[in-house]
């Protein structure tokens, strides 16, 4: 099947740790090598020190900037945590919004950690019983915090709350206003530098979402470029670390970043088994409505049409 007629593709860049394969592919010209004409659209993310925390006071998930840009046609493709993409893919159509499908398990295995203050009385996950953990609602820190903690606490005793950006929630924990926060890189490294205690951490895969406007060969070309970028980064991350540390506004230098936490690979098809496991889990937490199917949520056309 021939690739669709060339047009500019609008691709989101939000938090660098999620989007680093896209950034590297852009910088190294890998998208251009694939014959793609891409416009990179920046959206505010919770890792960016310049992001306004007021974003999270918008109670409707689809009112957030990246979601709004996509729904209004300003984006063709983006990536978020696996559960967040699934939730959006399932609920968008029911909300009368622009549809999107899960088109891949993404390149980034972003690391999240639950941290407490240097002088905290908490030393193990069990001690956070009934203690709110600061997260970004319906995004990676939310879902990953639940995944990490439900092995230690009953669901009734596992509490989360919203406290702004990664920097905001670390400051709230430092001031004693909150007992714990879930953060990702580069903020895990910031937390370590500032003496915070890490109780538990885990990798969390991204998923890739796309509109129906992107055909299989186009997505396949994008994913080849990202796979090449992942290999480039893994061989030598140093030239790209400033993209992460600049999100901290000077709180971290590139050499202080814990690069061993950064893991990237080639995007992969989103399997039926993976969908079932992830979907059943989100339904069990009442985070997404029941009734969705693999067929109406996932489209591995990047592999089927190549």
For the stretch 2-32, pLDDT in tens is 444 556 899 989 889 999 999 999 999 999 9
As a whole number of angstroms, the distance between CA 62 and CA 155 comes to 26
The predicted pLDDT at position 224 comes to: 97
Q: How confident is the model at residue 138 (pLDDT cuts 50, 70, 90)?
A: confident
Rounded mean pLDDT, 194-223: 95
End position of a domain, from candidates 140, 173, 203: 203
Nearest to residue 104, comparing CAs of 180, 24, 218?
218
Q: Does 179 or 81 have the greater pLDDT score?
A: 179
For the segment 117-128, what is each residue's pLDDT rounded down to a tens digit?
Answer: 999 999 999 999
As a whole number of angstroms, the distance between CA 287 and CA 85 comes to 12
Backbone angles phi, psi at 184, to 5 degrees: -120, 175
Q: How many CB atoms lie within 10 A of CB 139?
A: 23
The predicted pLDDT at position 1 comes to: 36
In a domain, 180, yes or no: yes
pLDDT at 139 over 80: yes
Could you tell me where the beta strands, DSSP code E, fall in the chain?
A: 8-13, 37-42, 77-81, 101-116, 133-135, 160-162, 180-184, 197-210, 263-264
End position of a domain, from candidates 203, 224, 243: 203
Q: Are residues 88 and 215 in the same domain?
A: yes
End position of a domain, from candidates 144, 169, 203: 203
What global pTM score does this model have?
A: 0.92
Structural domain harbouring 134? 111-203
Q: Are residues 58 and 144 in the same domain?
A: no
Rounded mean pLDDT, 224-241: 97
In a domain, 3, yes or no: no
The predicted pLDDT at position 52 comes to: 67
284's enclosing H/E stretch is helix 272-284
pLDDT at 256 over 90: yes
The predicted pLDDT at position 4 comes to: 45
Which class for 238: exposed (0-12), middle (13-18), buried (19 or more C-beta within 10 A)? Answer: exposed
For the segment 143-170, what is each residue's pLDDT rounded down to a tens digit?
Answer: 999 999 999 999 999 999 988 889 999 9
Torsion of CA 144, 149, 150, 152, to 10 degrees: 160
For the segment 273-289, what is each residue's pLDDT rounded down to a tens digit?
Answer: 999 999 999 999 999 99
Task: Count how many domains the chain has.
Answer: 2
pLDDT at 266 over 60: yes
pLDDT at 219 over 60: yes
Q: Are residues 160 and 222 in the same domain?
A: no
For the segment 176-206, what is each residue's pLDDT rounded down to a tens digit?
Answer: 999 999 999 999 999 999 999 999 999 999 8
As a whole number of angstroms, the distance between CA 104 and CA 81 comes to 12
- 180 beta partners: 133
As a whole number of angstroms, the distance between CA 147 and CA 145 comes to 5
Count how many residues are written for the chain: 306
In a domain, 224, yes or no: yes
The predicted pLDDT at position 6 comes to: 57
For the segment 34-76, what is each residue's pLDDT rounded down to a tens digit?
Answer: 999 999 998 877 777 777 667 666 556 777 888 888 989 899 9
Q: Are residues 44 and 89 in the same domain?
A: yes
Q: How confident is the model at residue 304 (pLDDT cuts 50, 70, 90)?
A: confident
């Amino acid at each position: 099947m021939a690739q669709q007629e060339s047009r500019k593709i609008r691709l989101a860049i939000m938090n660098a740790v999620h989007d680093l394969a896209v950034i590297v592919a852009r910088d190294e010209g890998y998208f251009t090598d694939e014959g793609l004409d891409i416009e990179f659209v920046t959206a505010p993310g919770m890792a960016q020190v310049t992001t306004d925390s007021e974003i999270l006071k918008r109670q409707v998930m689809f009112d957030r900037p990246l979601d709004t840009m996509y729904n209004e046609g300003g984006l063709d493709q983006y990536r978020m945590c696996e559960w967040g993409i699934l939730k959006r893919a399932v609920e968008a159509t029911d909300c009368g919004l622009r549809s999107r499908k899960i088109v891949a398990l993404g390149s980034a295995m972003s690391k999240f950690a639950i941290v407490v203050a240097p002088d905290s009385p908490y030393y193990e996950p069990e001690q956070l019983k009934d203690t709110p953990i600061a997260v970004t609602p319906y995004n990676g820190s939310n879902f990953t915090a639940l995944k990490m903690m439900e092995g230690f606490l009953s669901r009734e005793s596992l509490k989360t709350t919203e406290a702004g950006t990664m920097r905001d929630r670390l400051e709230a924990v430092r001031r004693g206003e909150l007992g714990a926060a879930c953060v990702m890189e580069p903020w895990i490294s910031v937390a370590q530098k500032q003496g915070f205690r890490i109780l538990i951490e885990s990798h969390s895969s991204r998923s890739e979402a796309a509109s129906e406007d992107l055909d299989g060969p186009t997505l396949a070309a994008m994913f080849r470029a990202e796979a090449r970028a992942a290999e480039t980064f893994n061989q030598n991350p140093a030239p790209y670390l400033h993209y992460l540390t600049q999100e901290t506004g000077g709180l971290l230098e590139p050499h202080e970043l814990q690069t061993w936490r950064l893991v990237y690979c080639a995007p992969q098809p989103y399997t039926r088994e993976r969908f079932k496991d992830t979907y059943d889990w989100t339904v069990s937490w009442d985070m997404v409505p029941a009734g969705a199917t693999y067929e109406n949520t996932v489209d591995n056309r990047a592999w089927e049409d190549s």
